Amino acid sequence: MGENGAGKSTLANILSGSLAPTSGELILNGEAIRFSSTAEARDYGIDIVHQHFMLVPAFTVRENLLLFGADLNKARDLPLDAVVGELSVGEQQRVEIARALGSGGALVLFDEPTAVLTLEESDALLERLRQLRAEGRAVVLITHRVEEALAVADRITVLRAGEVVGSYGAGEATAEELERQIAGGQFDRPTRSSESGVAEDRLIVEDLFVLADRGHLAVNGVSFHVRAGEVLGIGGVDGNGQVELAEALVGIRPVESGSIRRSGRVAYIPPDRNRDGLALTMSVLDNLLIAGHRKPALRRAGLLLPWLARLWAEGIVRRFSVRPPYLDRPVVTLSGGNRQKVVVGRELDETPDVLIAVYPTRGLDVRSQADVHRSILDARAAGCAVVVVSADWDELNAISDRVFVLSRGQWREER
């Protein structure tokens, strides 16, 4: 465990052969080894479920599993003939997990495997980890969810800035203790006020039908409205139309029938930051300027002033604790959580009229989750109409005024 940028994924990449260590040694079964490739690590029986999927988007699920030598008999609940690039983020996560588990390695690394899974799916995965342990396989789990670590781990190690700052056996640490270690001290969680004080509808959806990439009906006759100063939460198992609905709401997916009426500026936090939210080879500054280059405050006589742009970007990096705080560094060099902060900071720099946020805290540590929730609730208080899609019921209940579920594209209210 550890905050964003603490070195967790770097460590996993070293163990799985994706990255060579600068110094030190890795000892496996009493033998000092150094991997030159991921294939070599797999030959030693090390498999990894990556935070950023290592699947081939143009291949089918079946082809991706066969590519890594996975056992198809253990993946019968997956759509084997579906093209991976057309699957939702949650469905791709399940394929990534099946790929790693199906090859039978002696050591399995899981890097944020439950970030886009529902509570039920997460519980099922944790049970599978217990089974792996019972089979004599070693498991390393990287997670920001303290309750998961406490539920399944025999030992918990906390990293901060690349160093071990705490190590606990099962039952030796409380959730509060771990959160303090991860965050480096106490932090406040935001609370949702009971009344927003603004009532006009900013987003109105009527009898909406939307198709998925594979041609089937993803959103089936959905109707709802979101008022200014309100957070509407949407939950349910990923792959039931949530992402297609969100894309239709922001105008990047065509509508089969029905209507969507939006008022004012719309901001969007997409479900897949790497594919849809960032230009990975560009700098942090340039990624922020994707939205900021039109800001009048950064321009003179129609021209963008670089020094003003840098001051503005430094403010976002500081406010959202992007680490390391280097504007000229390619965004691909940041950890997954810090990439997410760049996207969230860019979209919430100024209060939009409508915000559509899909898995807004995916891959974020506990303090950063609280910061994003605070920013969303600040936007709500300023009159923004917010739609949050999440598989995390705790998140939805914490920040939503109303919560709905999409199941096979159909709409039902939970509270």
What does the pLDDT look like over 43-81, one tens digit per residue? Answer: 899 989 887 778 899 999 999 999 877 878 878 788 899
> Does any domain span residue 71?
yes
Residues 362, 274: Cα–Cα separation, whole Å? 12
Q: Is residue 404 part of a domain?
A: yes
Co-location of 291 and 354 in the same domain: yes
Residues 120 and 242 in one domain: no
**Looking at the structure, do residues 221 and 168 belong to the same domain, yes or no?**
no
Examine the fold and report which residue of 183, 210, 231 is the final residue of a domain before the chain moves on: 183
What pLDDT is stored for residue 198 in this prediction? Answer: 52
pLDDT at 81: 92
Cross-strand partners of 385:
230, 354
User: Does 207 lie in the same domain as 174?
Assistant: no
pLDDT digit string, tens, across residues 320-367 = 989 899 999 999 999 888 999 999 999 999 899 999 999 999 888 888
Whether residue 195 is contained in a domain is answered as: no
Q: How many CA atoms lie within 13 A of 206 on its CB side?
A: 5
Do the domain assignments include residue 190? no
Which of 157, 183, 209 is the last residue in one of the domains? 183
Domain membership of residue 193 (yes or no) is no
Residue 390 falls inside a structural domain: yes
Question: Do 371 and 264 have their domain in common?
Answer: yes
Q: Tell me, yes or no, whether 194 lies in a domain.
A: no
Same domain, 169 and 214: no
Closest alpha carbon to 285 in 347, 327, 341: 327
Q: Are residues 312 and 172 in the same domain?
A: no
pLDDT at 88: 80
Q: Is residue 146 located within the same domain as residue 207? A: no
By CB atoms closer than 10 A (0-12, 13-18, 19+), residue 76 is exposed
pLDDT for the residue numbered 391: 85
83/229 same-domain check: no
Count of domains in the chain?
2
The torsion angles phi and psi of 358, rounded to 5 degrees, stand at: -110, 115
Q: Which residues of the chain, if any, have pLDDT below 70?
A: 103, 194-198, 414-415
Query: Are residue 164 and residue 254 in the same domain, yes or no?
Result: no
Domain boundary among 183, 215, 233: 183
If asked whether residues 280 and 379 sit together in one domain, one would say: yes
Which CATH number fits the domain that encloses residue 24?
3.40.50.300
| Same domain, residue pair 130 and 238 | no
Quote the pTM value.
0.80
Provide the domain limits for residue 119: 8-183
Q: Is residue 219 part of a domain?
A: yes
